[in-house]
Amino acid sequence: MASFWNLEQEPTHNATFCCRSHSISNLLTAVLRAGETTFLLFKSSFPFSFFIVIGRAGYPADDTMECRLARGFCKYGQCPPRTEHTGGTCQDGRLLCCKR
């Protein structure tokens, strides 16, 4: 009677199928781990990248602040009637600074 651990015997299972299933399993495990790692990197770096991308989105441009400090307002195109253009600009030169 042959021993169960006898290495000289032919394997009773399909070795090709066994190895392929293990390689697919290892591949799926690696893909899932890479996905988890990518998610964790994105999750941890998102707050920092959010501030980098937005930059000064919440703050008015310097010329806009100058216009407002001079009691003016910003207008696209020409200033409305009964107001005059102060000569300044707003939003980095895209708008005019008008004053009543």
Token reading at 36: 């988890």
List, for residues 43-92, the tens digit of each pLDDT value.
776 666 656 555 556 678 899 999 999 999 999 999 999 999 999 999 99
Q: Is the pLDDT of residue 3 over 60?
A: no
User: What is d(CA 29, CA 41) in angstroms, rounded to the nearest whole number?
Assistant: 18
User: What is d(CA 57, CA 62) in angstroms, rounded to the nearest whole number?
Assistant: 13
Query: What contacts 85, CB < 8 A, 6 or more positions away?
Result: 78, 79, 96, 97, 98
Q: What pLDDT band is residue 20 in, cutting at 50, 70 and 90?
A: low
Distance, first Cα to last Cα, the chain:
108
